Structures are given as structure tokens and as C-alpha cells.
Amino acid sequence: MKKKIKYIFLTGIIVLFTVCESFCMADTVNNTITYNNQINTTYSNDVTTANITIPNVDSSLKVYDYADLFTREEEELLYEDVSKFIEKYNMDMVIVTINKNPNLSAKKYADSFYDTNNFGVGTQNDGILYLIDMDTRNIWITTTGSAIKTYEMYIDSMLDNYCYKYITKEQYYESADAFVKASEIAYKKHKKFTQFYLNTKRTFKHEKIYI
């Protein structure tokens, strides 16, 4: 399924390679994350897709911090906010951080991570994913299903006005939290504009809209 993908280079961050390499990729066996006092296995096996090794994860966890950018408390807060978004808007949401990208492509990693682990709601696998790639120094938003049309005019604004400013300050939790908030704002704006055009029978113009 074709995805709408946008990205922005993290030109505002200068991090020594020795620091980047000190980040530890999460274990590929028996890695666990605790939410609401329940322990869930994050993933047990890796899946290789188009020369990219993608973790086979528990798709119910929604937050996968392989670059170890969040504290445990921050992961739990993000999980709660993401869960509320999914329940309210009937659209999947995933947050991923990595510090090693074997294929050196944030785009391919984000797409493969979403598809390999069967994320999404409904027959079109509706959903949105935010990737912080510390290896390629990129942040990415990828969308699937109905989320493509919902967010195609807003992704640039979501990244520029919400996520990027925190990334440049190495405030990674704040960036992910801003992504969740921006996703909700953009969703509401899209529904509002869609209804307006339906009511007025005007032609809907696809262009960038800042939020």
C-alpha cells in the first residue's frame, strides 16, 4: 500500500559518533516493557525484509525505544497518550526510536517496521508512525490507509512546528509528545475542513496547511 511519507533532516544536532555508538540497541530476545503493572514481551524474533532487520514486536505496546531516549516514566506517559489517541480516533499510532539502521534509510525502516508488525486499524491498516532515527539523523512520519489523506497536508507543519524544535535540543520525549498532540490537532482540522467542503460543495484543494 502506498504511503505518504515526509521527513526532515536533523541538521540542528551535533552529536559525537562515540556517544551515538554508546547507545545500546534493545535486546532481540525477551526484552520486556511494563505498563500498568503488566509485563509484556516486546519481541522474540527479528524479521529480515528487503535487507533490513526489523524487530518482530508485540504490536500492542506502541512505544519502542531502542535508542534508549526515554525514561521508563516517559515511555509509560507516551503509551497512555497514544492509547487514548487510538481509542478516540480509531487510528493506530506508533512511536519508534533507533540508534542503528542497517540499511541507512529512515524511510524504509519506518515503512518496514509498520508493515512487518501488522500495525493498523481496519482493512486498510489505518495508522501513523513517528520515527526518531539517531543513525541517519532523521525524523520521519509515515502514514497508512485513511491516515494518508488525513495527514498529507499537515505533516510538514507537524514536523516543523512541533517535533523538530525539541529534537534540536535533544528533548526526545518532548518531541514524541508533541507528535501525539500535533496528530490530534491535525486530525480535527482535517475533519473540519472535509465537512466544510462537503457542505459547500467546493473542490477540495490539497496543499500544505500549517497548524
Which pTM value belongs to this model? Answer: 0.73
The three three-digit cell numbers of residue 118, written as one number? 501488522
Local confidence pLDDT in tens for the 211 residues of the chain: 545 444 444 444 433 333 344 433 333 323 333 333 332 323 335 666 555 678 999 999 999 999 999 999 999 999 999 999 999 999 999 999 999 998 668 888 999 999 999 999 999 999 999 999 999 999 999 999 999 999 999 999 999 999 999 999 999 999 999 999 999 999 999 888 665 454 555 554 544 555 6
The reported pLDDT for the residue numbered 102 is 80
Q: Give the Cβ contact number of residue 140 at 10 Å.
A: 23
User: Would you state the pLDDT for residue 192?
Assistant: 81
Distance CA 168, CA 177 (A): 15
Q: Do 143 and 152 contact (CB within 8 A), yes or no?
A: yes
Residue 58's nearest CA partner among 104, 85, 26 is 26
pLDDT of 21 reads 42
Q: Is 131 exposed, middle or buried (0-12, 13-18, 19+ CB in 10 A)?
A: buried
